[in-house]
Amino acid sequence: MADVFISFIHEEEKVATSLQQLLRAQFDKSKIFLSADEWQIHAGEQWLEKIRAELEAAKIVALMLSPRSVSRPWVNFEAGGAWLTGKVIVPVCFCGLKKGSLPKPYSNFQAVEIPEDTYYLIRSISHHLGEAIPPPPLMYDMKEFEQLKQSIKEVDCGGAA
Protein backbone atom coordinates (compact mmCIF):
# COMPACT_ATOMS: atom_id res chain seq x y z
CA MET A 1 0.00 0.00 0.00
CA ALA A 2 1.15 3.53 -0.80
CA ASP A 3 1.80 6.39 1.62
CA VAL A 4 0.66 9.13 -0.79
CA PHE A 5 -2.70 8.96 -2.58
CA ILE A 6 -3.21 11.36 -5.51
CA SER A 7 -6.87 12.29 -6.08
CA PHE A 8 -7.75 13.71 -9.52
CA ILE A 9 -10.41 13.83 -12.22
CA HIS A 10 -10.04 11.95 -15.49
CA GLU A 11 -9.73 15.09 -17.65
CA GLU A 12 -6.62 16.11 -15.68
CA GLU A 13 -4.95 12.71 -15.54
CA LYS A 14 -1.87 13.96 -17.41
CA VAL A 15 -1.05 16.44 -14.63
CA ALA A 16 -1.68 13.82 -11.93
CA THR A 17 0.57 11.34 -13.75
CA SER A 18 3.32 13.96 -14.06
CA LEU A 19 3.05 14.71 -10.35
CA GLN A 20 3.23 10.99 -9.60
CA GLN A 21 6.44 10.71 -11.68
CA LEU A 22 7.97 13.72 -9.92
CA LEU A 23 7.13 12.32 -6.48
CA ARG A 24 8.44 8.88 -7.47
CA ALA A 25 11.76 10.49 -8.40
CA GLN A 26 11.95 11.87 -4.83
CA PHE A 27 10.46 8.99 -2.84
CA ASP A 28 10.19 5.21 -3.06
CA LYS A 29 8.10 4.44 -6.15
CA SER A 30 5.73 2.20 -4.21
CA LYS A 31 4.81 5.08 -1.91
CA ILE A 32 2.77 7.01 -4.52
CA PHE A 33 -0.69 5.75 -5.57
CA LEU A 34 -2.50 6.89 -8.70
CA SER A 35 -5.62 5.02 -9.79
CA ALA A 36 -4.82 5.57 -13.48
CA ASP A 37 -1.58 3.59 -13.11
CA GLU A 38 -2.12 0.17 -14.74
CA TRP A 39 0.74 -1.19 -12.60
CA GLN A 40 -1.27 -0.38 -9.47
CA ILE A 41 -4.79 -1.48 -10.46
CA HIS A 42 -4.88 -4.62 -12.58
CA ALA A 43 -7.51 -6.08 -14.89
CA GLY A 44 -9.98 -8.14 -12.93
CA GLU A 45 -9.61 -6.17 -9.70
CA GLN A 46 -12.57 -4.37 -8.21
CA TRP A 47 -11.22 -0.85 -8.77
CA LEU A 48 -13.49 0.89 -6.25
CA GLU A 49 -12.37 -1.52 -3.52
CA LYS A 50 -8.71 -1.01 -4.52
CA ILE A 51 -9.16 2.77 -4.30
CA ARG A 52 -10.83 2.44 -0.89
CA ALA A 53 -8.01 0.22 0.40
CA GLU A 54 -5.31 2.59 -0.89
CA LEU A 55 -7.09 5.62 0.54
CA GLU A 56 -7.43 3.88 3.89
CA ALA A 57 -3.72 2.94 3.96
CA ALA A 58 -2.36 6.31 2.79
CA LYS A 59 -0.82 8.80 5.19
CA ILE A 60 -1.20 11.76 2.81
CA VAL A 61 -3.87 12.60 0.23
CA ALA A 62 -2.87 15.08 -2.46
CA LEU A 63 -6.03 16.60 -3.93
CA MET A 64 -5.45 17.83 -7.49
CA LEU A 65 -7.65 20.95 -7.50
CA SER A 66 -8.39 23.05 -10.55
CA PRO A 67 -11.36 25.30 -11.33
CA ARG A 68 -12.95 22.22 -12.92
CA SER A 69 -12.14 19.55 -10.31
CA VAL A 70 -12.81 21.52 -7.13
CA SER A 71 -16.55 20.96 -7.41
CA ARG A 72 -16.51 17.48 -8.92
CA PRO A 73 -18.08 14.66 -6.88
CA TRP A 74 -15.17 12.24 -7.17
CA VAL A 75 -12.52 14.56 -5.68
CA ASN A 76 -14.97 15.63 -2.97
CA PHE A 77 -15.77 11.97 -2.22
CA GLU A 78 -12.10 11.05 -1.80
CA ALA A 79 -11.41 14.23 0.18
CA GLY A 80 -14.25 13.40 2.57
CA GLY A 81 -12.92 9.88 3.04
CA ALA A 82 -9.47 11.26 3.77
CA TRP A 83 -10.79 13.79 6.26
CA LEU A 84 -12.94 11.24 8.11
CA THR A 85 -9.97 8.89 8.51
CA GLY A 86 -7.58 11.60 9.72
CA LYS A 87 -5.26 11.71 6.71
CA VAL A 88 -2.98 14.63 5.96
CA ILE A 89 -4.80 16.49 3.18
CA VAL A 90 -2.79 18.65 0.79
CA PRO A 91 -4.79 20.71 -1.72
CA VAL A 92 -2.62 20.97 -4.87
CA CYS A 93 -3.90 23.93 -6.92
CA PHE A 94 -3.22 24.33 -10.64
CA CYS A 95 -4.84 25.60 -13.85
CA GLY A 96 -5.26 29.07 -12.38
CA LEU A 97 -6.92 28.03 -9.11
CA LYS A 98 -5.23 30.02 -6.34
CA LYS A 99 -4.74 28.94 -2.73
CA GLY A 100 -6.47 32.10 -1.55
CA SER A 101 -9.62 31.34 -3.52
CA LEU A 102 -10.19 27.76 -2.40
CA PRO A 103 -13.74 27.15 -1.20
CA LYS A 104 -14.51 25.67 2.20
CA PRO A 105 -13.57 23.13 3.45
CA TYR A 106 -10.45 23.05 1.23
CA SER A 107 -9.40 26.51 2.41
CA ASN A 108 -8.96 25.10 5.94
CA PHE A 109 -5.88 23.16 4.77
CA GLN A 110 -2.44 24.56 3.94
CA ALA A 111 -2.41 24.38 0.14
CA VAL A 112 0.19 24.61 -2.62
CA GLU A 113 0.12 25.93 -6.18
CA ILE A 114 2.05 24.01 -8.79
CA PRO A 115 4.44 24.44 -10.40
CA GLU A 116 5.39 27.43 -8.19
CA ASP A 117 5.23 25.59 -4.85
CA THR A 118 6.50 22.21 -6.06
CA TYR A 119 9.48 22.17 -3.72
CA TYR A 120 7.23 23.15 -0.79
CA LEU A 121 4.91 20.26 -1.72
CA ILE A 122 7.81 17.78 -1.76
CA ARG A 123 9.24 19.20 1.47
CA SER A 124 5.82 18.93 3.13
CA ILE A 125 5.30 15.33 1.98
CA SER A 126 8.81 14.53 3.18
CA HIS A 127 7.99 16.06 6.57
CA HIS A 128 4.81 14.01 6.95
CA LEU A 129 6.64 10.83 5.92
CA GLY A 130 9.61 11.56 8.18
CA GLU A 131 12.12 11.55 5.31
CA ALA A 132 14.92 13.92 4.28
CA ILE A 133 15.06 15.49 0.80
CA PRO A 134 17.74 17.28 -1.23
CA PRO A 135 17.86 21.08 -1.39
CA PRO A 136 15.70 22.81 -4.03
CA PRO A 137 18.24 23.39 -6.82
CA LEU A 138 18.52 19.65 -7.47
CA MET A 139 14.76 19.16 -7.69
CA TYR A 140 14.21 22.07 -10.07
CA ASP A 141 16.75 20.62 -12.50
CA MET A 142 14.85 17.33 -12.74
CA LYS A 143 13.23 16.25 -16.02
CA GLU A 144 10.15 15.25 -14.00
CA PHE A 145 9.73 18.86 -12.84
CA GLU A 146 9.88 20.07 -16.45
CA GLN A 147 7.32 17.41 -17.43
CA LEU A 148 4.98 18.56 -14.65
CA LYS A 149 5.18 22.16 -15.88
CA GLN A 150 4.54 21.04 -19.47
CA SER A 151 1.55 18.87 -18.43
CA ILE A 152 -0.04 21.81 -16.64
CA LYS A 153 0.32 23.91 -19.80
CA GLU A 154 -1.23 21.20 -21.93
CA VAL A 155 -4.27 20.31 -19.80
CA ASP A 156 -7.62 21.78 -20.77
CA CYS A 157 -8.39 23.93 -17.75
CA GLY A 158 -12.03 24.28 -18.68
CA GLY A 159 -11.70 27.92 -19.62
CA ALA A 160 -9.41 28.89 -16.71
CA ALA A 161 -6.06 30.54 -17.25
Nearest to 16 by CA among 147, 159, 160: 147
Largest Cα span, the chain: 43
pLDDT score at 122:
93
| DSSP letters for the chain | --SEEEE--GGGHHHHHHHHHHHHHHS-GGGEE-TT-TTTS-TTS-HHHHHHHHHHH-SEEEEEE-TTGGG-HHHHHHHHHHHHTT-EEEEEE-TT--GGGPPTTGGGS--EETTTTHHHHHHHHHHHHT-----HHHHHT-HHHHHHHHHHHHS--TT--
pLDDT score at 159:
58
User: What residue ranges do the domains of the chain occupy?
Assistant: 4-154
pLDDT score at 160:
53
pLDDT score at 111:
98
Domain 4-154 class? alpha beta
CA dihedral 142, 1, 73, 77 (to 10 degrees): -130
pLDDT score at 46:
79
Tens of pLDDT along the chain (161 residues) come to: 899 999 999 999 999 999 999 999 888 877 998 877 666 777 888 788 888 999 999 999 999 999 999 999 999 999 999 999 999 999 999 999 999 999 999 999 999 999 999 999 999 999 999 988 766 655 667 788 889 999 999 998 865 54
